Amino acid sequence: MIERYPMLLSRDEILTADDLDTEDVSVPEWAPKTAKNPDEYVVRLRMLMGTDRDKFEASTVETKGGKTKQNLANFRARLVALCIINEAGELMFNAADIPALGKKSARALGRVFDACQKLNGFTEADVEDLTEGFEDAPEGASTSG
């Protein structure tokens, strides 16, 4: 039997790896009203970069007056805005677009949000950690057990 050893990745291999998968998600609700087949209209999602995931997770917490509380305003729209890209692979939305994106159909936004979660490996536990209540926790307090 041939013994196999793990192949250690080099710094350059890690930094140049194309590891941001994409996925197209049908959103017929957002198709033009004149579309003959609305199911053919899709958005392209890209995996979050590590910095984007950190930005999203940090956006779920708000500190005011020395107290930390959760910030769930436009929770779905914030994640979707960090994932939808155009054909060139660039983000389509910025922070200023989030309130308008949050006013889109809950069904359509929810479908895209669910696909973003799956594509990025968000588990149920991750979402629970991000959305658990801690309104009265002092700033800097840990919410983990």
90 vs 72: CA distance, rounded Å: 25
CATH number 3.30.2220 is the correct assignment for the domain at 26-131: yes
pLDDT surpassing 80 at residue 25: yes
CB 115 within 8 A of CB 80: no
Q: Would you list the domain boundaries of the chain? A: 26-131
Residue 89's pLDDT is: 95
CB 98 within 8 A of CB 74: yes
pLDDT surpassing 50 at residue 33: yes
Cβ neighbours of residue 22 closer than 8 Å, sequence gap 6 or more: 44, 45, 46, 47, 85, 89
Q: pTM score > 0.75 for this model?
A: yes
